[in-house]
Chain A
Amino acid sequence: SYEVTQPPSVSVSPGQTASITCSGDRLGDKYTSWYQQKPGQSPILIIYEDKKRPSGIPERFSGSNSGNTATLTISGTQAMDEADYSCQAWDNSFVVFGGGTKLTVL
């Protein structure tokens, strides 16, 4: 079965750029979505189809996907961006989530 892998944790200083990766075999040939989840809350879709943002998602969130790696980039990271981030792909009608990355804003 298809798998995607994320680093368990990423740290960033306020105002800097955070990058969170999601790796999988030929992931660039698939669409990747990204979710933000804060403690005690349901996930929120922040990126879909690799780089599109749903209405209401700040422009500092962006995405890319090429080769075997999809990347979520948060520009000008704010304290409120501290959360768990999960990538998600679709493979032959099955949905696959990465294990999640805890973003710490130091």
Chain B
Amino acid sequence: EVQLVQSGAEVKKPGESLKISCQASGYSFTNYWISWVRQMPGKGLEWMGAIDPSDSYDRYSPSFEGHVTISADKSISTAYLQWSSLKASDTAIYYCARPLVSPRGPSEAFHIWGQGTVVTISS
């Protein structure tokens, strides 16, 4: 079964750092990009960026570039999303997602989703 399993819920304070994970199974991890998607409380989906696990080439939405870092470790089929200094506005559910087809292109559609990681930032 193809699946993405994300790390558990996190509660952090403003200014702290955080790294959440997304472990893939059931397919060749290096064959598909992994994207990260944010969903703030009661709001819609926002694409943050994506990474090609085969060479760690990444692409960020302008709205998120410089505030988060996406990485991947192909030896353990795991992608990561990390922050060096969290803000209260980072409180959200974060999803990793894999597209239906490879390579990335204009028809990109996310067929496999992780269960989401709830991140709460509060002083």
Residues of chain A having any CB pair with chain B under 8 Å: 1, 30-31, 33, 35, 37, 42-45, 48-49, 54, 84, 86, 88, 90, 93-100
Contact = CB atoms under 8 A, between A and B. Distances in A.
Interface of B: 35, 37, 43-47, 50, 59, 61-62, 95, 97, 100, 104-111, 113-116
A33 B45 CA distance: 13
B62 A33 contact: no
Contacts of B46: 97
Nearest to B35: A95
A27 to B, nearest CB: 12
Contacts of B111: 45, 48, 54
A98 B100 contact: no
B61 A94 contact: yes
B109 A93 contact: no
Contacts of A97: 37, 44-47
B105 A54 contact: no
A9 B115 CA distance: 25
Given A35-B45, A54-B100, A100-B44, A43 B110 contact: yes
15 contacts: A31-B106, A31-B108, A42-B116, A43-B110, A44-B113, A45-B100, A48-B107, A48-B111, A49-B107, A88-B109, A93-B59, A94-B62, A96-B47, A97-B37, A99-B43
Contact of A48 (B97, B100, B115, B116): B100
Contact of A95 (B108, B114, B115): B108
